[in-house]
Every structure is written in C-alpha cells, then in structure tokens.
C-alpha cells in the first residue's frame, strides 16, 4: 500500500513527477480508512448519519461524538483522524461566531464551507504542518439558500451535494443513495434510508456499532439537532428488518 | 435618544463658541420611513461651521450598496469616514456572498464602527434599504453604537422640531406617494424652524426595482407659517445684477 512515493512523498511542498502531492493523497487515505459517515439533503432539510464502531464494551454509549454543532444553524460530521477533526470543528465554530459578531447575522452555508476549505487547503500548501486527515460533512440552513449539504475533503476541495458519503463504506453507500429522489424525499424518510444504508454496508456483522444521526429541518426548528432517540430507534428497527429480509433472500 | 441630543448639544455649544475652532458639522435633518413595498429616505442640504453655511446644497445621503443607503448627521468628517469603511466592508462581503448583503448586516457594520470607536466619533446615522428577504427596512444607529430597527426614524438637530409631526402623521402601510410626501413635509417643517437645517431637500426611494432620487430645490421647498415666498425673479431662474 505505501512506499509508492519513493522520495516525493516526504513533504507536502514536493510534487511528484506525475503532478501529485502525495501527502495530500495519504491524508485522504486516513479518511478512507475511517468508519462511514453520510449526509442527505432532502426537500425539507438535511440529515447526517455516522456509523460508529464500538471498540470496547467498556465505552459509555453515546460518547465519542462524531457529529458536532458549529452554530445553531450548522453542524459537522467528521470522518478520519478524530483529534484532527476536533480542531476543524473548533475552527469552524470560531469562524461562525466571528462572522456573527462582525456582520450581525448567522454565517451562510457557502461562506462557512469556503472558510473550512481554505483553512484545510493552507495545510496542503505550506511546509510546516501536515494536512488534516479529516473529511467534513457540513449541514447548514440559512435564509438565502435553505438547507445545504457540503463535503470538505482533506485537500480543501469542497462541493455541495444532494447526498454523499465518506469512509470505508462510501462506495456502497453512494451506490445505494443514488437511486433516491432528493427533491421528493422528506427528512423523516431520509433518516430511515440512512439507517438502512448504514446497516447494509456495515461489513463485520459480528462487531457492534452505534448509529449517530442529526438533522436540520422544520421539526428541529431549523436548528442542527440530534434526531430524536425514538426516531433513531424506529429507523434502526426498520433497518434491521430490511437487512434480515435481504439475508433471507440469499 | 435623549443622550444623543445631550451629546450633540454639548458638542454644538463647544463648536459655536468660536467659528474658527468649529469643525464642519451636519447640523441636519434626516428622515427615513418604510412604506408598503419599500422605504423613503430624505435629508436637507445645509452644512454649517458655526453660523457660516459652508455648503447649502450638500448630499447627506450616501450609497453603501445597490440597495442600502446611509443618512448622515453629526460630524461631516466622521460620518463620511464611517460611510467609506462600511462601503468597503460591504463590497467585500457582497463578493464573498455572491449576492447583496441584507440591510440588517449593513446596519450592523455601521453600528460596530460607532460602538468600537465611540470615544472618537460623533455620527448619528440612519441606515435604510430594501432587501428581498425583509423588504424595506430602517435602522437607527445613533452616537454610541446602538442599532435599533424602526418603522420610521429621524435624526439630526432639526429632528427635535418634528417628533410631534412624525408621531401624529405617520401611518402604517402608506403608498409610495404618501410616504414621499410625508418625508418631504417633515423635512420642510424642520428646515423652517432649525437654523442648522435648510437649503434643499434630497430624497431617495428604494423598492424592489431599485433607487429613485429626487431633488427639491430651495425655492420649491414647501413653506409654512409666516414663511416668505421666494422672490418671483429667483423662481423664474433669472438673476438681475445691479451695476453701479
């Protein structure tokens, strides 16, 4: 897997002869090895979901958060190196509060995305620090553009999505959600879809995992909040049932 | 608002003591008023240094963005500087947003300048504009840095004479014509009684289609109780010079 760089991968300030910056690629690998995180922008809001592998029975359930509040109207799900992710969350929170303090209104989604992306990009350009091994899924709601979903990669590339996923199971998740009609699906339906998809792609069925989900919709008062526990439980029920059904079909 | 009159009064007392010491100030009347579909702003044209009128037809309405304007009263220099800074920040923000900033955001920028530099500045400002989310809006940003959204607002030395008129004559959901007449009438009344206000009336009307500027020359300003009509020769625009 490693050793392809052969000398061109020692520093983020070095190109390889075929035009790659290997350190950036390696940062992306850190994300690709993490457990899956996904987001769906529905017709009436945004939903984020993370598959959290439970590493030990000694861990308290619900700890090791993967989804964070950036501001009332914005949230971030983190995939990749978790300590790096915490720094990115802090930076995004600072950007949001500074913007509000200066301009008197909540930071718009496109601006927040741009700020996180240019921050991450700086670490791909200058010599002193390595790139962040983090991909950030941003869920934002503002007056101008309504609900939005952004993905910011370790390189600083950022796009706005209807639906996307990062981490180990991203390919399978993206294939699953491609068939969804994003302009028709509601948040409640998306919560169930996320649960079903994550259960389906969770490979080692022996290993337990926790489902962490958040949303921004009318029901949450257009604030970024955890999906209520009963809805998550209900979605997990449906997901487990669907997974068993497809098992039986095999 | 009382504190502002106090501050202004104190500053004026200082500045009127010796004309050579006084800095130009916009002893002024400024008025802004929302109506059904937009907002009307208006100002007089007099800039005075003590008893000397340095400009009788100045423009106290400053454009900050396509859809937000600033009405200036207090120190001419301070308010121009504030306007320039806010215009600069607004342009930057518009570039970042890819769209016009909201009126509230601009008002916040003006308020931030007034608040953070309150020891040095003397600017009593009105911010008025039209944005697609909330329509026509007026914000009062007096000395000190308060930001107050209002249905209508007045400021400047001449405003003290027209509070009663504004309170009694304002009504909600006026038409554009009613609002323009209301603002013009208010300014004319203030200009009649305030020595530091006078000259011309300038108004700007903002709605979803943009801005319309109007100018009422000195001899067309409405007159009130015992005010003299302008001489016929001046009204016709001919100047007669007496030679010899």
Asked if A24 and A124 count as a contact pair (C-beta separation under 8 A), the reply is yes
- Please indicate whether residue B181 or residue B10 has the higher confidence score (pLDDT): B181
**In-domain check, residue B186:** yes
* Beta strand B201-207 pairing with B210-216: antiparallel
Question: Taking residues B230-238, what's their average pLDDT?
Answer: 61
Cβ–Cβ below 8 Å for B112 and A108 = no
Catalytic residues of B: 28
Asked if B185 and B40 count as a contact pair (C-beta separation under 8 A), the reply is no
User: Nearest CA of chain A to the CA of B112: how many Å?
Assistant: 7
User: A182: Cβ–Cβ under 8 A, 6 or more apart, which residues?
Assistant: A40, A41, A42, A43, A162, A163
Helix (H), strand (E), coil (C) string for A148-184? EEEEECCCCCEEECCEEEECCCHHHHHHHHHCCCCCC
The three-class DSSP label of residue A9 is coil
- Among A12-26, A38-52, B142-156, B229-243, which is the least confidently predicted range? B229-243
Cβ–Cβ below 8 Å for B96 and A103 = no
CA dihedral A148, A149, A153, A155 (to 10 degrees): -20
Find the closest chain A residue to B92 by CA distance. Answer: A103
pLDDT at B7 over 70: no
pLDDT at A247 over 60: yes
Question: Taking residues A148-157, what's their average pLDDT?
Answer: 97
Question: Taking residues A25-42, what's their average pLDDT?
Answer: 96
Cβ–Cβ below 8 Å for A111 and B97 = yes
Write the CATH number for B84: 3.60.20.10
Predicted confidence band of residue B48 (pLDDT cuts 50, 70, 90) = confident
Q: Which residues of B touch A105 (CB under 8 A)?
A: 102, 104-105, 108
Q: Which residues of B touch A111 (CB under 8 A)?
A: 96-97
Q: Which residues of A touch B96 (CB under 8 A)?
A: 111, 114
Predicted confidence band of residue B21 (pLDDT cuts 50, 70, 90) = very low
- Among A113-117, A240-244, B167-171, B192-196, which is the least confidently predicted range? A240-244
Q: Which residues of B touch A144 (CB under 8 A)?
A: 97, 99, 133
Q: For residue range B101-145, what is the model confidence (pLDDT) as tens digits?
A: 999 999 999 999 999 999 999 999 999 999 998 999 999 999 999
Q: Give the integer Cα–Cα distance in Å for A200 and A242.
A: 8
The three-class DSSP label of residue B107 is helix
- Among A3-12, A18-27, A121-130, A184-193, which is the least confidently predicted range? A3-12
* Beta strand B148-150 pairing with B135-141: antiparallel
Domain extents in chain A: 19-54+64-245
Cβ–Cβ below 8 Å for B93 and A108 = no
Find the closest chain B residue to A110 by CA distance. Answer: B97
Q: Which domain holds residue B141?
A: 25-216
Burial call A176-209: b when 16+ CB within 10 Å, e when fewer: bbeebeeeebebbbbbbbbbbbbbebbeeeeeeb
Q: Count the neighbouring beta carbons within 10 Å of the beta carbon of residue A133.
A: 22
pLDDT at B32 over 70: yes
Burial status of residue B28 (CB atoms within 10 A of its CB: 0-12, 13-18, 19 or more): buried
Percent of chain A as helix, strand, coil, to the nearest 5: 40, 25, 35
Q: Give the integer Cα–Cα distance in Å for A160 and A182.
A: 13
- Please indicate whether residue A248 or residue A14 has the higher confidence score (pLDDT): A14
Burial status of residue A230 (CB atoms within 10 A of its CB: 0-12, 13-18, 19 or more): exposed
Mutation for A interface: B108, B111, B134, most A CBs within 10 A: B108
Asked if B217 and B230 count as a contact pair (C-beta separation under 8 A), the reply is no
Class of domain A19-54+64-245 (CATH, top level):
alpha beta
Q: For residue range B137-166, what is the model confidence (pLDDT) as tens digits?
A: 999 999 999 999 999 999 999 999 999 999
Number of domains comprising chain B: 1
Interface residue B147 vs chain A (CB under 8 A): yes
Q: For residue range A223-236, what is the model confidence (pLDDT) as tens digits?
A: 999 999 999 999 99
pTM comes to: 0.83
Interface residue A109 vs chain B (CB under 8 A): no
User: Nearest CA of chain B to the CA of A2: how many Å?
Assistant: 40
Cβ–Cβ below 8 Å for B133 and A111 = no
Predicted confidence band of residue A66 (pLDDT cuts 50, 70, 90) = very high
pLDDT at A206 over 80: no
Candidate from A102, A105, A110 with C-beta closest to B102? A105
Element spanning B68, H or E = strand B68-75
- Please indicate whether residue A51 or residue B244 has the higher confidence score (pLDDT): A51
**In-domain check, residue B7:** no
Q: For residue range B184-207, what is the model confidence (pLDDT) as tens digits?
A: 999 999 999 999 999 999 999 999
pLDDT at B55 over 70: yes
Predicted confidence band of residue A6 (pLDDT cuts 50, 70, 90) = confident
User: Nearest CA of chain A to the CA of B102: how many Å?
Assistant: 9
User: Nearest CA of chain B to the CA of A18: how many Å?
Assistant: 34
Cβ–Cβ below 8 Å for B96 and A143 = no
Q: Which residues of A touch B146 (CB under 8 A)?
A: none
Residues 17-76 of A with CB under 8 A from B: none
ipTM comes to: 0.76
User: Nearest CA of chain A to the CA of B216: how many Å?
Assistant: 35
Residue A112 CA: distances (Å) to CA of A204, A208, B195 = 36, 34, 51
């Amino acid at each position: 897997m490693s050793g392809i760089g052969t000398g061109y991968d020692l520093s983020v300030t070095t190109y390889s002869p075929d035009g790659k910056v290997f350190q950036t690629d390696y940062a992306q690998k850190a994300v690709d090895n993490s457990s899956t995180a996904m987001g769906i922008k529905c017709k009436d809001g945004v939903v984020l979901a993370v598959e959290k592998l439970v590493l030990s029975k000694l861990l308290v359930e619900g700890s090791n958060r993967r989804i964070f509040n950036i501001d009332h109207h914005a949230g971030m799900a983190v995939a990749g190196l978790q300590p790096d992710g915490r720094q990115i969350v802090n930076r995004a929170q600072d950007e949001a509060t500074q913007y509000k303090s200066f301009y008197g209104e909540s930071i718009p989604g496109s601006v927040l995305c741009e700020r996180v992306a240019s921050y991450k990009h700086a670490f791909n350009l200058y010599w002193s620090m390595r790139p962040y091994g983090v991909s950030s899924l941003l869920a934002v709601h503002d007056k101008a553009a309504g609900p939005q979903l952004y993905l910011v990669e370790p390189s600083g590339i950022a796009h706005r999505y209807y639906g996307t996923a990062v981490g180990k199971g991203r390919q399978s998740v993206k294939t699953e959600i491609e068939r969804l009609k994003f302009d028709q699906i509601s948040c409640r339906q998306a919560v169930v879809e996320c649960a079903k998809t994550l259960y389906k792609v969770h490979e080692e069925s022996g290993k337990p995992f926790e489902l962490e989900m958040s949303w921004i919709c009318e029901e949450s008062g257009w604030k970024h909040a955890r999906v209520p526990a009963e809805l998550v439980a209900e979605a997990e029920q449906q997901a487990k049932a669907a997974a068993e059904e497809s098992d039986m079909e095999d | 608002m009382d504190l502002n009159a106090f501050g202004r009064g104190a500053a004026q007392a200082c500045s009127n003591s010796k004309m050579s010491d006084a800095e130009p100030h916009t002893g002024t009347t400024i008025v802004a008023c929302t109506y059904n579909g937009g907002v009307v702003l208006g100002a007089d044209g007099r800039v005075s240094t003590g008893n000397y009128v340095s400009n009788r037809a100045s423009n106290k309405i400053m454009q900050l963005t396509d859809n937000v304007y600033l009405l200036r009263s207090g120190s001419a220099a301070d308010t121009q500087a504030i306007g320039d800074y806010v215009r600069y920040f607004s342009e930057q923000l518009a570039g970042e947003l890819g769209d016009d900033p909201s009126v509230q955001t601009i008002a916040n920028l003006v308020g931030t300048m007034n608040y953070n530099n309150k020891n040095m500045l003397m600017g009593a400002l009105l911010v008025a504009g039209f944005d697609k989310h909330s329509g026509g809006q007026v914000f009062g940003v007096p000395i000190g840095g308060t930001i107050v959204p209002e249905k209508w607002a007045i400021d400047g030395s001449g405003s003290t004479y027209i509070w009663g008129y504004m309170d009694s004559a304002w009504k909600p959901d006026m038409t554009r014509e009613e609002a323009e007449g209301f603002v013009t009438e208010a300014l004319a009344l203030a200009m009649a009684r305030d020595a530091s206000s006078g000259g011309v009336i300038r108004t700007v009307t903002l709605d979803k289609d943009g801005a319309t500027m109007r100018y009422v020359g000195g001899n067309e300003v409405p007159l009130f109780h015992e005010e003299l009509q302008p001489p016929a020769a001046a009204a016709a625009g001919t100047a007669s010079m007496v030679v010899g």
